[in-house]
Amino acid sequence: MNKNIIEIKNLIKLYDHGNTIALDNLNLEIKKGEFVSIIGPSGSGKSTLLNMLGALDQADEGSINVAGFDLMEKKDFSHFRSKEIGFIFQLHNLIPNLTVSENVQIPMIHTDISDEDMIKRANSILESLNLSSKINQFPTKLSGGERQRVAIARALVNHPSIILADEPTGALDSKTGDVILAVLKKIHKAENVTLILVTHETYVADMADRTIEVRDGQITN
């Protein structure tokens, strides 16, 4: 039986000086290595939840523990983020004036990995995602699916324990989206990483071990 890698109790996140309740006493436990999909209407709090899990923003009340880190502590979580978390967003957020390889090296910049190893690791992960021929290209020269594969490479390069994917196929046509989902599913199997995937599509959600539904900032199932 795997341990919980995520434990959230009565989490509250407010915006607009308290006028918007984005997370409303949310409770959630996720086990190490689980593949969980998150569905729910637009504005229900899915992205807010992912941002809390990745310490991109801090909650107002309650408790949130991720990979042994207490994320309610008032401190800088950049070390936690680079070590434990890989983010994949709907829009890939690649930096246009860096090459594909350089984009994938970004998460390793503030680590003790040598420049030479950074290049090696970036290029080897790009190779595993069938992007060897693109390493010296700029992102603008790539297709949508290729860019999203680069974003996946960047999310994986530090071997995170958790991948947070916020509608990663939302900006892709369905065929390309299916390729990206197959890549994520394969990574989940091969690396025993915890994968949390926000999606609109029920057929995508059904690929996960478990689906949770968010409504009005609470989990309803």
Ligand X SMILES: Nc1ncnc2c1ncn2[C@@H]1O[C@H](COP(=O)(O)OP(=O)(O)O)[C@@H](O)[C@H]1O
Q: Which residues bind Mg ion (CB under 5 A)?
A: 46-47
Q: Please tell me whether residue 203 binds ligand X under the rule CB under 6 A.
A: no
Which of the choices Mg ion, ligand X, none does residue 44 contact, using the CB cut-off of 5 to 8 A by kind? ligand X
Q: Please tell me whether residue 44 binds ligand X under the rule CB under 6 A.
A: yes
Q: Please tell me whether residue 15 binds ligand X under the rule CB under 6 A.
A: yes
Which of the choices ligand X, Mg ion, none does residue 151 contact, using the CB cut-off of 5 to 8 A by kind? none
Nearest C-alpha neighbor of 98 from the set 114, 122, 78: 122
Q: What residues have CB less than 8 Å from 26, skipping those under 6 apart? A: 8, 10, 11, 12, 45, 49, 62, 214, 217, 218, 219
Do 40 and 100 touch, CB atoms closer than 8 A? no
Q: Please tell me whether residue 20 binds ligand X under the rule CB under 6 A.
A: yes
Q: Please tell me whether residue 46 binds ligand X under the rule CB under 6 A.
A: yes
Which of the choices ligand X, Mg ion, none does residue 203 contact, using the CB cut-off of 5 to 8 A by kind? none
According to CB under 6 A, which one of 40, 107, 160, 177 is a site residue for ligand X? Answer: 40
What is the rounded CA–CA span in Å between residue 80 and residue 185?
A: 24
Number of residues that this document lists for the chain: 221
Closest-CB residue for Mg ion?
Answer: 47
Q: Please tell me whether residue 47 binds ligand X under the rule CB under 6 A.
A: yes
Count of other CB atoms within 10 angstroms of residue 202: 10
According to CB under 6 A, which one of 1, 42, 190, 221 is a site residue for ligand X? Answer: 42
Q: Please tell me whether residue 220 binds ligand X under the rule CB under 6 A.
A: no
Q: Please tell me whether residue 130 binds ligand X under the rule CB under 6 A.
A: no
Do 101 and 136 touch, CB atoms closer than 8 A? yes
According to CB under 6 A, which one of 11, 36, 37, 45 is a site residue for ligand X? Answer: 45
Nearer to Mg ion, 142 or 196 (CB): 196
Nearer to Mg ion, 23 or 122 (CB): 23
What is the rounded CA–CA span in Å between residue 93 and residue 23?
A: 25
Please classify residue 115 by burial: count the beta carbons closer than 10 Å to its beta carbon, then call 0-12 exposed, 13-18 middle and 19+ buried. exposed
